[in-house]
């Protein structure tokens, strides 16, 4: 090899080495960045899971407090009924919305009833029954006696009755019973109450 070319070859080899080192450093940086991104995604997933658990715990405590104070209908169910009426039944603003409606029977004045939530819209009347703790007899009683609404509110006679039973938590078999009886089941989701069997109830 000509002695005149030796410095150029040496410079080229040096440049190639530098290029190889630069590529290696880039690959190492990308690998490190990839690891950091994976760690970040894992941390965000843990954060979301923690937030979801905290939200559920907050909802549970809120429900327990409302239950102890006897205000579950006013504080939890009634506010969520507005959203449910809009999302599922297209009712933006009900004609009437009654919470804990108490009334004497128009004929037998010794009989009194309290209905948790009653809402009307056009030719439809919505009736909600709420229980903090669910027992099978509560579900059966509501299924069998919901039409008493028309006895105590004869002005609603002839309207279509839509029945909703709500609680903080409903077991699958309880939801199935309500569905079989044409009753919508409403329970606590992540941050609100929602109907969980809407598509299954015969329309």
Q: Residue 20: which region, alpha, beta or left (left: phi > 0; alpha: psi -120 to 50)? A: alpha
Q: Which tens digits make up the pLDDT trace of 104-161?
A: 999 898 899 999 999 999 999 999 999 988 899 999 999 999 999 999 999 999 999 9
Question: 43 burial class (0-12, 13-18, 19+ CB within 10 angstroms)?
Answer: exposed
pTM of the model: 0.67
Domain 72-195 of CATH type 3.40.1350.10 = yes
Taking residues 34-44, report their average pLDDT.
Answer: 67
Please report which confidence band the pLDDT of residue 86 belongs to, taking 50, 70 and 90 as the band edges.
very high
What was the pLDDT predicted at 129?
Answer: 95
The average confidence (pLDDT) of the chain is 82
Query: What is the pLDDT at residue 24?
Result: 63
CA-CA distance, 96 to 180, in Å (whole number)? 28
Contacts of 191 (CB under 8 A, 6+ apart): 55, 59
pLDDT at 13: 65
When pLDDT is averaged across residues 175-199 and rounded to a whole number, the result is 92
Q: Where are the domains of the chain?
A: 1-69, 72-195
Region 166-189 average pLDDT: 94
Provide the pLDDT confidence category of residue 58 given band limits of 50, 70 and 90.
Answer: low
Q: Spell out the residues 6+ positions from residue 106 whose beta carbon is closer than 8 angstroms to its own.
A: 151, 152, 154
Within its chain, how far is the Cα of 35 from the centroid? 35
Q: Reply yes or no on whether the pLDDT at 98 is more than 90.
A: yes
Q: Which two tokens stand for residue 61?
A: 């405590």
Q: How confident is the model at residue 60 (pLDDT cuts 50, 70, 90)?
A: low
Percentage of the residues of the chain whose pLDDT score is greater than 70: 66
What's the Cα-to-Cα distance from 58 to each of 44, 62, 63, 198, rounded to whole Å? 20, 6, 8, 26
């Amino acid at each position: 090899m000509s002695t005149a070319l030796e410095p150029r070859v040496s410079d080229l080899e040096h440049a190639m080495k530098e290029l190889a080192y630069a590529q290696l450093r880039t690959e190492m940086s990308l690998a490190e960045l990839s690891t950091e991104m994976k760690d970040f995604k894992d941390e965000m997933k843990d954060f979301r899971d923690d937030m979801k658990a905290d939200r559920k715990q907050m909802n549970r405590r809120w429900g327990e407090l409302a239950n102890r104070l006897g205000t579950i209908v006013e504080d939890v169910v009634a506010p969520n009924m507005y959203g449910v009426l809009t999302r599922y039944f297209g009712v933006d603003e009900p004609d009437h919305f009654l919470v804990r409606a108490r009334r004497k029977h128009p004929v037998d004045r010794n009989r009194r009833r309290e209905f948790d939530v009653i809402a009307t819209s056009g030719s439809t009347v919505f009736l909600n029954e709420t229980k903090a703790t669910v027992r099978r007899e509560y579900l059966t009683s509501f299924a069998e006696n919901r039409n008493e609404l028309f006895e105590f509110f004869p002005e609603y006679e002839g309207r279509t009755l839509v029945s909703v039973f709500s609680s903080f938590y409903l077991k699958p078999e309880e939801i199935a019973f309500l569905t079989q009886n044409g009753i919508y089941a409403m329970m606590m989701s992540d941050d609100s109450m929602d109907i969980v069997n809407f598509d299954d109830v015969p329309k």
